[in-house]
Structure 1
Amino acid sequence: MNKQELIDAVADRTGDSKAATGEVIDAVLAAIKHALNAGGTVQLVGFGSFSTGQRAARTGRNPSTGAEIQIAAARTVKFTAGKAFKDAVNAS
């Protein structure tokens, strides 16, 4: 499912227009990004939680040449599925 299919599905389910639904979905995603950029976490009970983590700098290898390359440290985004979400997926 891509973003447009998600908008269509939510609009059909709620009866709202696709334009309004698209704005709401964009606003939700923007709020999640903002909270994670600020170093917080987002917990959606019954669905899961989003948080950030750290990946340390390390030395890697270029697979085609075998040369060593330095990989910079980075912040990562983690998603942990909630129990109800896992149960719903596994029930299928």
Structure 2
Amino acid sequence: MADKSLNKTDLVAKIAADTDLSQAAVDKVLGSLFDVIAESVASDTKVSIPGWLAVERTHRAARTGRNPQTGAEITIPAGYSVKVSAGSKLKAAAK
């Protein structure tokens, strides 16, 4: 596992340096990107950036589970989750 990480602040600084834009402008664009992705997923619209990634909402059916402390059977309600898939360019970069 990689012990390096790139947080949002570092990402904004790197993009700003690479594009000669201000960090405030880059932060605003990234914030807008995340807002659009969140709105799209909430409205069940798949977001796809060919070659890089795809984000979509998935449905999970109701199911039964077990309380690990008591062993009692419980009902887990249906719900939604988010699926993020890596595209070919992102997969190639990881090799």
TM-score range, shorter chain: 0.7 to 0.9
User: 1:65 Cα deviation (Å)?
Assistant: 2.5
User: 1:74 Cα deviation (Å)?
Assistant: 1.0
Partner of 1:43: 48
Identical amino acids, percent of aligned pairs: 38
Equivalent position amino acid for 2:63 in 1: R
Aligned with 1:25 (options 30, 43, 47): 30
Matching of residue 69 in structure 1 with residue 74 in structure 2: yes
- SS of the counterpart of 1:43? strand
- SS of the counterpart of 1:13? helix
Matching of residue 89 in structure 1 with residue 94 in structure 2: yes
Q: Which runs of 5+ in 1 are unaligned?
A: none
Matching of residue 79 in structure 1 with residue 84 in structure 2: yes
User: 1:68 Cα deviation (Å)?
Assistant: 2.1
Give the distance between the partners of 1:40 and 1:86, measured in 2 at CA: 23
Give the distance between the partners of 1:8 and 1:2, measured in 2 at CA: 10
Equivalent position amino acid for 1:29 in 2: F
Q: Which runs of 5+ in 2 are unaligned?
A: 1-5
TM-score (norm 2): 0.85
Aligned with 2:17 (options 12, 28, 35): 12
Equivalent pairs, count: 90
- SS of the counterpart of 2:29? helix
Say what the alpha-carbon RMSD is for the aligned residues: 1.3
- SS of the counterpart of 1:64? coil
Partner of 1:2: 7
